[in-house]
Structure formats: C-alpha cells, structure tokens
Amino acid sequence: MRLLLASASPRRADLLRAAGLTFDTAVADVDETRQPGEAPADYATRVAHAKAEAVHRLHPEATVIGADTIVVVDGDVLGKPAEAADAARMLRRLSGRAHEVLTGVSIIGPHGTRRFVDGARVWFRPLSEDDIAWYVATGEPMDKAGAYAVQGGASRFVSRIEGACATVVGLPICRLCEVLSELGELPVASETA
C-alpha cells in the first residue's frame, strides 16, 4: 500500500511521521474559495476532498489523504491572512475568547472513499497590542488559517484546548488512523512471540 499526503504542510507530515506512518507527499493545486452560504464544516471537507481527488487522479493506485483546516469565530471563517494588517485583525478577534478549529479530511484509495471533519475548541488569553505586533512580526501567522500556529509562537496565547491538539495543528491523526484501519489501509506492526 502506498500512502500519499496531498499537502505541502510540514506540520501534517510531522504528525503522520510521529504516528509511525510511511508516506510520500504530493501537492494539490485546487481552488480553496469558499462558496456562498457554505457551512464551515462543509467547506473544510469539500476542500480536503478536492485536494485528495486532484492527487488521486495522478496516482490512482495510492491511498491519498487530503486535509483542510479552518478557524471559525462567530460563524465567520478566518482563512490565511492576506497581509500583516489582516493577521493583526484576526488575532484581535481571537483575543480573550474561544473559537473553533475544524479540519476536514478526505481519504481516497483502493478500498473506497471516506470523508470526515474533526473539531476542537481553542481559548486564547487576552492579547495586548504588543503581543499581536510581536507575533505578526515573526511572519509565522502569514500562511496559517486564523493567523496562528498552535505548535509555534502562538502557543504562548493558548490557554486551553478542548479536543485533539492534532486537529488544531492540521490533521486529526487519531481519527485518521481509525478510518485508515477501517478501510484496511493502516499498516500494523506484526506481533512477535
């Protein structure tokens, strides 16, 4: 079985490696524009599936994993910031409150297709303007949904997480492995006597 991650995200790759999975990566170039009126969970799952489909078309023999992570606050989806001022605006919205992180996942392989979304609730402590300016200046927020990386510098802002931290990082690894196992696509170490 060949496992392919349809993502260039080093964070997702790190999560798969840490779980003991052997895989290759293939970048999927898909339109990630949210459709009018599209519910956040539907949006994350649709984009994840589009990524998996794009890579599966090129590698039909492989089991392909696509994922997409979004941040939702007050029903609004916070994508990747367009520029520094946009990142600062997002961080102000997250300051001192809870928000939801959703990661949609699509798996396409010889044994079928499965899609799911996993959610986590994240609480930020109140952020000062100095906190925001410092973090934006690091450049880290610029390619992250919601303008932050929980495993990076923003870890100093997160006071609590309800749900899997891996979901917030970008790939709900426990749920993913459960689904791969159900599909017969999860390599399992053989037992020795």
Determine, yes or no, domain membership for 53: yes
- Which entry of 68, 74, 131, 143 is annotated as an active-site residue? 68
pLDDT digits (tens, 9 = 90+) for 50-101: 999 999 999 999 999 999 999 999 999 998 999 999 999 999 999 999 999 9
Determine, yes or no, domain membership for 142: yes
pTM, to two decimals: 0.92
Determine, yes or no, domain membership for 172: yes
pLDDT of residue 189: 47
The fraction of the chain above a pLDDT of 70, given in percent, is 96
- Confidence at 192, pLDDT banded by 50, 70, 90: very low
pLDDT of residue 193: 35
Give the residue numbers spanning the domain of 32.
3-182
- Confidence at 1, pLDDT banded by 50, 70, 90: confident
Annotation marks residue 14 as catalytic: no
Cβ(41)–Cβ(103) under 8 Å?
no
Domain count across the chain: 1
- Confidence at 186, pLDDT banded by 50, 70, 90: confident
Residue 70's domain is classified under what CATH number? 3.90.950.10
Average pLDDT over residues 165-177: 96
Determine, yes or no, domain membership for 187: no
What does the chain come to in residues? 193
